[in-house]
């Protein structure tokens, strides 16, 4: 049965040690996420319990128990160790949501290396930037995606091993290595790396306004936050069939698509095929999904197909629904209550940097449609005045969402960028080290989002405090897009902003000036779109390109995206006095 308790009760009597009780954790046990999510679950007598129910394209499917998870993650661990991979090395996983992604994720952690999951739809430039930044030593990929690695490999001196986990070994090139997890001699017990709470675990790249994406580095200690929030907020119980729709290339897909559920020994389903509403409902029906964690864009797409379609399926297995990634509009909450037998999507708010859910509609708490809910027990959250950075006390006033440092799953640094890490903390000393910042309770970690808090303590999201574009719950950095745009032969200068979209909330729109000799045309527009799709990803591809004579700039020559964005959203353009008037 559920052990989540009432929100008020939990806030009053909170301690992170409760996470250890939930996992039945004894002091002195090995703190290694890879082992906790597989070996440890088997050790608790759940080895034959289904861990992963998988469906792919074309009707392919597979089922794996926790025993399988243990043996196959051991195989990846054994193989990688054999290949000379060492604790602390960055190993990238670049695949669709196939079973080997999940096995290798745990296997990499078992040798004490750092997992760098990257979204498989990334094009070669998105991939290159992230592999170069992390000085990644090995990449695990598939036949479908290895071609992109081949194009950039010679520019990546640190990339020693390219491993392909499917297909035909005869088709590999050069020193690429073939690895078939099912054929590797079974390792029953693997000698797991003796990690501790501060051993680095996962490196997720995330986009900011300026510069290239930054790597948010997590540690094995994150498990306490991920397990407890998976238990209390997602309400995961031993007999659940859980479906997290996120891709592990993004943080939701690892914190709650791998670590949270499997640390609790919960069965989860993965659907690795294109989206249609019918396919999703069928998947829930066939697998008797009970807890479903998804994103507003998907929910809006389901809404578009209407409530009648829902009635064609038996979705009575569903018990709890939650959402993350972007603002969940009140209509979506109300609609879900109507069509899913009274179940409403519970909005949750968090970030790559926070590692786990920070603000949420806690089960049992009254849902105010449109609100993100309240801080998780043990999390001190506030909104800070936009100018003074003092906490706002007046209900309804808009400020910056901020958290007191020190929760277990908080990121420990931006990879090799202590300066940017420091800039996320209000009140930080200029020479403060990452380790001091993350434990200093006099500071605030600022999320980069704006919200207000109402008189009942509920948080209401307002928008981002920067120029990052959130398209369908995925963050894309304008700088990365602009840098790629100006590599196109016809483009002189470029600005990328989000424009409103009914389903995806925002899509990318680019404003460009052309080089002499090039004329605006529809053909050129398509060419530019394709150029970005291939280089970066379908997410980063502009849905519209507007040719302009010049871009709005400040006197110092910086492009003012804020101005272009406001035009797109029909908002007040704001203070233009800093704009150049040339």
How would you label 224-250 residue by residue, b for 16+ Cβ within 10 Å and e otherwise? bbbbbbbbbbbbbbeebbbbbbbbbbb
Residue 328: CB minimum distance to ligand 6R9, A: 6
Q: Return d(Cα 10, Cα 424) in angstroms, integer.
A: 29
Residues 238-267 that bind ligand 6R9 (CB under 6 A): 250-252
Q: Return d(Cα 316, Cα 107) in angstroms, integer.
A: 36
Q: Judged by CB, which is closer to ligand 6R9: 136, or 447?
A: 447
Residue 457: CB minimum distance to ligand 6R9, A: 16
Residue 233: CB minimum distance to ligand 6R9, A: 12
Q: Return d(Cα 135, Cα 88) in angstroms, integer.
A: 11
Residue 560: CB minimum distance to ligand 6R9, A: 21
Q: Judged by CB, which is closer to ligand 6R9: 355, or 377?
A: 355
Q: Return d(Cα 85, Cα 79) in angstroms, integer.
A: 9
The answer to whether the beta carbons of residues 215 and 133 sit under 8 Å apart is yes
**Which position has the token pair 């490196």?**
203
The answer to whether the beta carbons of residues 242 and 289 sit under 8 Å apart is yes
Q: Which of 475, 484, 510, 532 binds ligand 6R9 (CB under 6 A)?
A: 475
Q: Judged by CB, which is closer to ligand 6R9: 190, or 403?
A: 403
Q: Which stretches of 354-503 are assigned E, i.e. beta strand?
A: 359-360, 374-375, 381-384, 399-403, 413-414, 425-426, 444-453, 459-464, 469-471, 474-476, 491-501
Q: Judged by CB, which is closer to ligand 6R9: 136, or 206?
A: 206
Q: Judged by CB, which is closer to ligand 6R9: 19, or 324?
A: 324
Q: Judged by CB, which is closer to ligand 6R9: 252, or 504?
A: 252
Is 281 an interacting residue with respect to ligand 6R9 (CB under 6 A)? no
Q: Judged by CB, which is closer to ligand 6R9: 73, or 255?
A: 255
Is 437 an interacting residue with respect to ligand 6R9 (CB under 6 A)? no
Q: Which of 294, 447, 504, 537 binds ligand 6R9 (CB under 6 A)?
A: 447
Q: Contact region for ligand 6R9 (CB under 6 A) — 38-46, 65-73, 436-444, 446-454?
A: 446-454
Residue 412: CB minimum distance to ligand 6R9, A: 16
Q: Which stretches of 165-310 are assigned E, i.e. beta strand?
A: 177-178, 200-206, 214-219, 241-244, 267-271, 291-294
Q: Return d(Cα 88, Cα 123) in angstroms, integer.
A: 26
Residue 462: CB minimum distance to ligand 6R9, A: 9
Residue 461: CB minimum distance to ligand 6R9, A: 4
One character per residue 194-233, x = contact with ligand 6R9 (rule: CB under 6 A): ------------x---------------------------
Q: Which among 184, 135, 141, 132 is positioned nearest to 162, based on CA atoms?
A: 141
Residue 323: CB minimum distance to ligand 6R9, A: 7
**Binding-site size, ligand 6R9 (CB under 6 A):** 23
2 is written with which tokens? 């559920």
Residues 297-326 that bind ligand 6R9 (CB under 6 A): 324-326
Beta-bridge partner residues of 513: 493
Residue 530: CB minimum distance to ligand 6R9, A: 25
Residue 201: CB minimum distance to ligand 6R9, A: 17
Q: Judged by CB, which is closer to ligand 6R9: 96, or 467?
A: 467
Q: Which among 229, 217, 196 is positioned nearest to 410, based on CA atoms?
A: 217
Q: Return d(Cα 385, Cα 399) in angstroms, integer.
A: 5
89 is written with which tokens? 């090395």
Q: Judged by CB, which is closer to ligand 6R9: 322, or 437?
A: 322
Cα–Cα distances in Å, from 378 out to 83, 306, 384, 392, 526?
Answer: 42, 39, 19, 20, 50
Q: Return d(Cα 369, Cα 365) in angstroms, integer.
A: 12
Residue 4: CB minimum distance to ligand 6R9, A: 19
Q: Return d(Cα 243, Cα 393) in angstroms, integer.
A: 38
Q: Judged by CB, which is closer to ligand 6R9: 242, or 250?
A: 250
Select the residue whose beta carbon is closest to ligand 6R9 and give its number: 352
464's CB contacts (< 8 A; 6+ apart) are 448, 449, 450, 470
Is 449 an interacting residue with respect to ligand 6R9 (CB under 6 A)? yes
Collapsing DSSP to helix, strand or coil, 274 comes out as coil
Q: Which of 53, 269, 372, 392 binds ligand 6R9 (CB under 6 A)?
A: 372
Q: Which among 227, 230, 222, 216 is positioned nearest to 199, based on CA atoms?
A: 222
What element of type H or E holds 90? strand 90-94
One character per residue 323-352, x = contact with ligand 6R9 (rule: CB under 6 A): -xxxxx------------------xxxxxx
Q: Which of 461, 479, 531, 563 binds ligand 6R9 (CB under 6 A)?
A: 461
Residue 571: CB minimum distance to ligand 6R9, A: 17
Residues 112-141 that bind ligand 6R9 (CB under 6 A): none
DSSP tag of 392: P
Residues at the contact surface with ligand 6R9, assessed by CB under 6 A: 206, 250-252, 324-328, 347-352, 372, 447-449, 461, 464, 470, 475
């Amino acid at each position: 049965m559920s052990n989540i308790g009432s929100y008020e009760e939990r806030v009053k009597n909170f301690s992170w040690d409760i996470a250890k009780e939930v996992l039945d954790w004894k002091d002195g046990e090995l703190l290694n996420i890879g082992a906790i999510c597989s070996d440890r679950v088997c050790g608790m007598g759940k080895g034959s319990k289904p861990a992963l129910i998988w469906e792919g394209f074309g009707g392919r499917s597979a089922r794996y128990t926790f025993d399988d998870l243990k043996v196959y993650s051991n195989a990846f661990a054994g193989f990688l160790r054999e290949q000379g991979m060492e604790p602390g090395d960055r190993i990238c996983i670049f695949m669709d949501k196939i079973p080997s992604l999940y096995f290798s994720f745990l296997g990499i952690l078992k040798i004490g290396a750092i997992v760098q999951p990257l979204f498989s739809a990334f094009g070669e430039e998105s991939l290159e930037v992230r592999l170069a930044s992390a000085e990644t030593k090995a990449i695990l990929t598939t036949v479908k995606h290895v071609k992109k690695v081949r194009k950039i490999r010679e520019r990546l001196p640190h990339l020693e091993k390219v491993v392909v986990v499917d297909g035909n070994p005869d088709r590999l090139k050069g020193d690429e290595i073939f690895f078939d997890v099912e054929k590797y001699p079974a390792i029953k017990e693997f000698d797991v790396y003796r990690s501790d709470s501060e051993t680095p675990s996962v490196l997720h790249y995330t986009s900011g306004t300026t510069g290239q994406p930054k790597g948010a580095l997590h540690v094995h200690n994150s498990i306490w936050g991920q397990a407890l929030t998976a238990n209390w907020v997602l309400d995961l119980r031993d007999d659940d069939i859980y479906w997290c729709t996120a891709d592990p290339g993004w943080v939701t897909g690892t914190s709650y698509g791998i670590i949270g559920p499997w640390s609790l020994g919960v069965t989860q389903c993965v659907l690795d095929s294109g989206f249609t509403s019918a396919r999703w409902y069928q998947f829930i029906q066939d697998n008797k999904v009970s807890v479903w964690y998804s994103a507003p864009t998907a929910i809006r797409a389901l809404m578009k197909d209407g409530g009648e379609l829902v009635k064609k399926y038996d979705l009575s297995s569903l018990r709890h629904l939650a959402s993350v990634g972007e603002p969940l509009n009140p209509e979506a909450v109300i609609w879900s209550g109507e069509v899913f037998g009274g179940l409403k999507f519970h909005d949750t708010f968090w970030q790559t940097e926070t590692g786990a859910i920070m603000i949420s509609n806690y089960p049992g708490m009254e849902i105010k449609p449109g609100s993100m809910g309240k801080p998780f027990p043990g999390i001190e959250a506030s909104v800070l005045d936009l100018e003074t950075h003092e906490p706002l006390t007046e209900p309804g006033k808009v400020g910056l969402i901020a958290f007191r440092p020190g929760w277990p799953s908080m990121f420990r640094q931006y990879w090799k960028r202590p300066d940017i890490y420091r800039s996320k903390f209000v009140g930080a000393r200029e020479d403060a080290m990452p380790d001091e910042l993350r434990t200093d309770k006099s500071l605030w970690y600022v999320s980069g989002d704006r919200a207000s808090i109402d008189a009942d303590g509920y948080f209401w999201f307002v928008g981002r405090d920067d120029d990052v574009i959130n398209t369908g719950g995925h963050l894309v950095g304008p700088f990365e897009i602009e840098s790629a745009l100006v590599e196109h032969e016809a483009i002189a200068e470029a600005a990328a902003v989000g424009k409103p979209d009914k389903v995806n909330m925002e899509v990318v729109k680019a404003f460009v000036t052309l080089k002499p000799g090039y004329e605006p045309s529809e053909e050129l527009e398509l060419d530019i779109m394709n150029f970005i799709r291939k280089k970066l990803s379908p997410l980063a591809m502009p849905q519209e390109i507007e040719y302009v004579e010049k871009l709005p700039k400040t006197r110092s020559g910086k492009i003012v995206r804020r101005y272009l964005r406001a035009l797109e959203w029909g908002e007040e353009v704001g203070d233009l006095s800093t704009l150049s008037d040339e």
